Amino acid sequence: MSKPVVAIVGRPNVGKSTIFNRIVGERVAIVEDMPGVTRDRIYSRGEWLNREFNLIDTGGIELGDEPLLIQMRAQAELAIKEADVIIFIVNGREGITAADQEVSKILFRSDKPVVLGVNKIDNPEMHEELYEFYSLGMDTPYPISGSHGLGLGDLLDAVINHFPEEQEDPYDEDTIRISLIGRPNVGKSSIVNAMLGEERVIVSNIPGTTRDAIDTPFSRDDQDYVLIDTAGMRKRGKVYEATEKYSVLRSLKAIERSNVVLVVINAEEGLIEQDKKIAGYAHEAGRAVIIVVNKWDAIEKDDKTMKNFETKLREELLFLTYAPILFVSALKKQRLQHVLPMVLKVSQNHSLRVPTNVLNDMIMDAVAMNPTPTDKGKRLKINYVTQVAVEPPTFVFFVNEPELMHFSYERFLENRLRATFEFEGTPIKIFARKKNV
């Protein structure tokens, strides 16, 4: 099921991004080093007391040339709509400002729980500065220091106390959950309708027509599926339609609930940066991925068009080399019959478990073909391998020195796993662990 969403809100220069980075720690950089991934640090995963959540730094959401107050109001309203809990950050050294009061009014009118963090309280002598902030009407102000990491434990304790109760999954575990993600107006709803053969969701050329994530259960060839059509932007107006970063939020929620993610791209517009970011979240979440290029009927083609388009996609999405690409037209219902068979295939690959003896035989052959690397006279020795998880397939290599497992050799091992077993459409995770003597 989807994880709770926590949003960090506050006026500029109160330390929102510092606190965001403190909470998510090193997780924020997991995908950044991979070629082909261009993403900001607005959204990431956090964890506290074994409770995982998605964290939003609204301060990183820029709204073009809009005046600052309009931006702040938009960011606060965004948090109210999308978050389960809101962290409201103020600057303890500067006291309450008019901008703080403006944000607090917006948050106060919401039904969402708000936890107030008073930042830049670096030592106990400064705690008397807290009393002023009770006037914001937000219950207990928590003294914190983002730069020193002080007080965040108490703040996060309060945050997770407000998390909604985990709901039971309404669908059978054998049901394949498919989410369609992508920018507004790439044709997600049209694909849903074309696949189902009926008008189940509203289709319009206006970006943001879909207001909520719509679940559509159905069966095909004795297999149960659920289509999750991610919502568009709810709020009309220049501020909201000026940026497409908001569509990522709903995509995140749908991804969390999915087994298979269809990343839908508009063939007429080609791949843009926002598509990469949305695809990056599906990859980081470890879901099976299929790239669906919609509106292919609108493209003038020769015998090289599809190949050239695919080559460019592969160059731009280097982190999704495992994802199959389908070219479809929801409008003309072209090649949509290939979508569900591919969904079934990648879902099976996503949950594939390889017997340990078969796995180790394969790795021995791979090492014989390409010996392990050495560093300063020491050679990496792989003692044995085991698969510890599925969805996605996750492998632990027990070795003599984990630091000798270079990225390039890890990539070689992943390629051998993919060449030997059927892993199309699914990411693979590899970890090196020191063998206990």
- Is 95 marked as a binding-site residue? no
267 is in an annotated binding site: no
Paired tokens of 209? 């027509």
60 is in an annotated binding site: yes
Is 153 known as a binding-site position?
no
Residue 58 labeled ligand binder: yes
Cα separation of the two ends of the chain: 39
Sign for the pseudo-dihedral over CA of 357, 362, 365, 371: negative
Residue 238 labelled as part of a binding site? no
In the three-class reduction of DSSP (H, G, I as helix; E, B as strand; rest coil), residue 335 is classed as coil
Residue 282 is classified by DSSP as H
Does 57 carry a binding-site annotation? yes
Q: Is 110 annotated as a binding residue?
A: no
Backbone torsions φ then ψ of 195, nearest 5 degrees: -70, -35
434 is in an annotated binding site: no
288 annotated as a binding-site residue: no
- 430 is an annotated ligand-binding site residue: no
CA 399 – CA 384 distance, rounded (Å): 7
Q: Check the annotation: does 275 bind a ligand.
A: no
Rounded to whole angstroms, the Cα distance separating 109 from 41 reads 28
Which residue, 364, 430, 432, 363, is CA-closest to 404? 432
Other Cβ atoms within 10 Å of 343 Cβ, number: 24
User: Which residue matches tokens 């330390």?
Assistant: 15
211 annotated to a ligand binding site = no
Residue 266 known to bind ligand: no
Closest to 233 in 3D by CA, of 208, 250, 251, 214: 208
Judge whether 14 is annotated as a binding position: yes
- β-pairing, 43-48 vs 51-57, is antiparallel
Residue 123 labelled as part of a binding site: no
Closest CA to 215 of 186, 243, 266, 176: 176
Type and span of the H or E element at 418: helix 407-420
Is residue 12 marked as binding?
A: yes
> Is 185 among the annotated ligand-binding positions?
yes
User: Does 135 belong to an annotated binding site?
Assistant: no
Ligand-binding annotation for 13, yes or no, is yes
On whether 16 is known to bind a ligand per the annotation, the reply is: yes
48 in a known ligand binding site:
no
11 in a known ligand binding site: yes
Cα–Cα distance for residue pair 78/72, rounded to 1 Å: 10
Residue 188 assigned ligand-binding role: yes
Phi, psi dihedral angles at 210 (to 5 degrees): -75, 125
122 marked among binding-site residues: yes
CA–CA distance, 336 with 348 (Å, rounded to integer):
20
Residue 59 assigned as binding residue: yes
**61 labelled binding-site residue:** yes
- Please indicate if the annotation marks 181 as binding a ligand: no
Q: Give which of 184, 208, 245, 238 is closest to 42, Cα–Cα.
A: 245
Q: How many Å apart are CA 158 and CA 118, to the nearest integer?
A: 14
Binding residues: 10-17, 57-61, 119-122, 182-189, 229-233, 294-297
Binding residues for GTP: 10-17, 57-61, 119-122, 182-189, 229-233, 294-297
